[in-house]
């Protein structure tokens, strides 16, 4: 058994949850903030057999990998017209920080 601790951005959290359930992984979610990822994030605790660790990492990568996203310009409200960008810009979103930890015992009561 291994314990997988995955910190992912909130925007990827629901999609990752659904895919983990679909592939029979059981996860607990903790609300977390800052640090590894800039905006709000969620920490997943996933227990799994050694043989399924790679499959779990693949699912996390597919659903949370850091990627560029085109963000439509937002009209400036008030006097901030100096910083107004009138065309879509690429911003990096997503990303996951994942720790795989050894487990000495696993119990389900």
Taken in order 56, 60, 63, 66, the sign of the CA dihedral is negative
Contact between 39 and its own copies per CB under 8 A: no
**Contact set for its own copies, span 55-94 (CB under 8 A):** 57, 60-61, 64-66
Distance of CA 61 to the CA centre of its chain: 9
Closer Cβ to its own copies, 11 or 43, answer by number: 43
Report the interhelical angle of 10-22 vs 53-64 (nearest 10°).
Answer: 140
Instruction: Work out the burial of residue 24: count CB atoms within 10 Å of its CB; fewer than 13 is exposed, 13-18 middle, 19 or more buried.
Output: exposed
Using CB under 8 A as the binding criterion, the count of chain residues that bind its own copies stands at 46
Phi, psi (deg, nearest 5) at residue 105 = -140, 150
CB of 33 to its own copies, least distance (A): 5
Binding test (CB under 8 A) with its own copies, winner from 24, 35, 70, 75: 35
CB of 90 to its own copies, least distance (A): 18
Residues near its own copies, by CB under 8 A: 1-3, 5, 7, 17, 20-21, 26-37, 41, 43, 45, 47, 53, 57, 60-61, 64-66, 95-109
């Amino acid at each position: 058994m291994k314990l997988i601790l995955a910190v992912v951005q909130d925007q990827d959290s629901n999609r990752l949850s659904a895919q983990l359930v679909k592939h029979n992984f059981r996860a607990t979610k903790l609300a977390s903030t800052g640090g590894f990822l800039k905006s709000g994030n969620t920490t997943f605790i996933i227990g799994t057999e050694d043989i399924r660790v790679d499959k779990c990492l693949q699912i996390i990568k597919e659903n949370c990998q850091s990627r560029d996203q085109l963000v439509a310009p937002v009209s400036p409200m008030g006097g901030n017209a100096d910083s107004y960008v009138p065309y879509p810009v690429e911003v990096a979103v997503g990303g996951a920080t994942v720790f795989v930890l050894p487990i000495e015992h696993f119990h389900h009561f």
